[in-house]
Amino acid sequence: MRIIFLLADLLLILLFALLSYWVSQHFLQPTPPLLPPISTPSFPQDTVLEKPPLTLPLEPSLPPKLRPKPPSHIAKLVDSVYEQTKTTLSYDPAYVKLPYPNGDVDSRTGVCTDVVIRAFRAQGIDLQKQVHEDMQKSFKAYPKQWGMRTTDSNIDHRRVPNLMTFFERQGKSLKVTLEASDYKTGDVVVWELPSGQEHIGVVMAERSEDELRPLIGHNVGEGTKVQDILLAWPIKGHYRYFEPKLVKTENLN
């Protein structure tokens, strides 16, 4: 009898084990995912993101901006500025008596206006003569901040506000914007420096390293240089002299 009870117990244990295995296979396994796992883009270890982006669109590969060759008359102007970078190595705002017309200070020095004056002379335009003659006709139209009672051919054309007035009177003024693409090779730009003084320069054909801005030929204190300074200071004036008469527009407030 004991053998019969022992066999019965073993049979019950075996049945219980089989039942437990069946339950574990059908009810205790994790539910398989309904969708395949989404791969997460990898980032450098020091990148901190609040939420991982769903997608990472690739940056388009943009070609470098073209640098079209300027017309021959504009090329002479910008070439003159580059020649100045080799000779005009200092800045000197001293008053100097000049011959008239085509008078100039020592080519080894000068101020910001001299960069423009010399570049225009490469085009056959003598701003000393042009400004002097216009001031003789309409002296009251020009700034009076220097206390001048009459014209002075030695200095009038070397003052930025006078050049601004002359360009405006010639219908060469353009709208001031912050769009670098609006500034073309050969344009003249006037800025207001932190000191409140006006500064003037010439837009060149070459562009900044990031291709976003044209370079500027100017002399701000260390001789004539070609630099990426178009948007370095607030722009007060934008002029395009070597174009047909332009429609005067309001400046940017």
Please tell me whether the overall predicted TM-score, pTM, comes out greater than 0.75 for this model: no
Looking at the 3D structure of the chain, how many domains does it have?
1
- Domain extent for 139: 72-239
Residue 31: CB atoms within 10 A of its CB come to 5
192: in domain: yes
- Taking only the tens of pLDDT, the chain with its 253 residues reads 666 666 666 666 766 666 666 556 655 555 444 444 433 333 333 333 333 333 333 344 444 455 667 888 899 999 999 999 999 999 999 999 999 999 999 999 999 999 999 999 999 999 999 999 999 999 999 999 999 999 999 999 999 999 999 999 999 999 999 999 999 999 999 999 999 999 999 999 999 999 999 999 999 999 999 999 999 999 999 999 987 654 444 444 3
* CATH number assigned to the domain comprising residue 78: 3.90.1720.10
d(CA 89, CA 86): 7
Phi, psi of 207 (to 5 degrees): -120, 170
Q: What contacts 163, CB < 8 A, 6 or more positions away?
A: 113, 116, 127, 131, 157, 188, 190, 200
50: in domain: no
Phi, psi of 31 (to 5 degrees): -70, 130
Residues in the chain: 253
Q: What three-state secondary structure class fits 200? A: strand
131: in domain: yes
DSSP labels for 91-106? Answer: ---------SSS----
